[in-house]
């Protein structure tokens, strides 16, 4: 059984003490493909080191995270563009809009999001979207950029059935993680109405740990709890869920 974690920040400082052990625990569980989203230029070198340490298992993205869109965002976007021109990445991400922490940067967040979508199209790469309290704003940008070569993953999907269907209409897979196991997560109530061909698994480690680890540091091995939950929701075997979602990730990331 091959399990794919389509979104894990394994380079995070939260793993500085035991990164190799964390990755090896995941590998023992069958989680053998880790897709690594970027945050900003300060993490680029540690991402490269992670890839060097685990070349068969780690696949990097490049992008500017919406909460890191600050006054210097154009310099950061230049870095993203330079990196994409220089070497292979598997997606542009994570990118998007976050209005939970700071609404004052909405305009520059939209500008950065749109620009990075255009970079993804240029390099024929998927996008990986971060959306927090910003579904309308995200959909507005996606509508303006809608095309056959716009595709990717709506990371950490937490919306309604209608929003799920709208995301899928823009060629997005839904990234499903720990929230599906939360009592108040709500997505478990309608997820079985979404065909599994639109779903990929993720952890967002070290964040959003699934039950029973909620409140503790998340890690990629805990994706098993998401797998178990989806197996119950869809009433199919865990092996089936793993196979379908891994195949979906291969369609997106082309590997």
pTM for the model: 0.97
Residue 251: name the closest of 199, 195, 202 by CA: 199
Domain chopping of the chain, boundaries = 3-253
59: closest CA among 89, 28, 84, 100? 89
162-180 residue pLDDT tens: 999 999 999 999 999 999 9
Confidence of residue 94 (pLDDT cuts 50, 70, 90): very high
Question: Band of the pLDDT at 145, cuts 50, 70, 90?
Answer: very high
Residue 200 pairs in a beta bridge with: 175
Do 210 and 224 contact (CB within 8 A), yes or no? no
**Can you tell me the mean pLDDT for 69-79?**
97
Place of tokens 């291969």: 250
What is the mean pLDDT of the segment spanning 93-117?
97
Contact 124, 160 (CB under 8 A): no
Looking at residue 185, what is its pLDDT?
A: 86
**What pLDDT, in 10s, does the model give residues 193-206?**
999 999 999 999 99
Name residues whose C-beta falls within 8 Å of residue 117's C-beta, 6 or more positions apart in sequence. Answer: 92, 95, 127, 141, 142, 145, 150
Supply angle C-alpha 10, 3, 27, rounded to 5. 55
Per-residue pLDDT averaged across 207-216, rounded?
97
pLDDT in tens, 27-37: 999 999 999 99
Average pLDDT for 39-46:
98
The domain made up of 3-253 has a fold known as TIM Barrel (3.20.20)
């Amino acid at each position: 059984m091959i399990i794919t974690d389509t979104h894990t920040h394994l380079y995070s400082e939260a793993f500085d003490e035991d990164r190799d052990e964390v990755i090896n625990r995941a590998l023992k569980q069958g989680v053998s493909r880790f897709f690594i989203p970027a945050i900003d230029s300060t993490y680029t070198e540690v991402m490269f080191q992670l890839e060097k340490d685990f070349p068969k298992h780690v696949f990097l993205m490049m992008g500017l995270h919406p909460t890191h869109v600050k006054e210097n965002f154009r310099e950061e976007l230049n870095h993203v563009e330079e990196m994409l021109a220089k070497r292979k990445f598997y997606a542009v991400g994570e990118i998007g809009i976050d209005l939970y922490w700071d609404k004052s940067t909405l305009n520059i967040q939209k500008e950065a999001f749109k620009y990075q979508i255009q970079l993804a199209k240029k390099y024929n790469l998927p996008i990986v979207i971060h959306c927090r309290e910003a579904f309308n704003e995200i959909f507005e940008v996606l509508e303006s950029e809608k095309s056959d070569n716009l595709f990717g993953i709506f990371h950490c999907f937490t919306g309604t059935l209608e929003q799920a269907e709208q995301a899928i209409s823009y060629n997005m897979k839904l990234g499903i993680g720990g929230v599906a196991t939360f009592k108040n997560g709500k997505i478990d109530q309608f997820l079985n109405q979404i065909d599994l061909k639109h779903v990929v698994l993720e952890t967002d480690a070290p964040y959003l740990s699934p039950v029973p680890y909620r409140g503790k540091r998340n890690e990629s091995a805990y994706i098993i709890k998401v797998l178990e939950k989806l197996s119950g929701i869809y009433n199919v075997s865990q092996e089936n869920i793993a196979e379908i979602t891994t195949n979906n990730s291969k369609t997106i990331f082309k590997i």
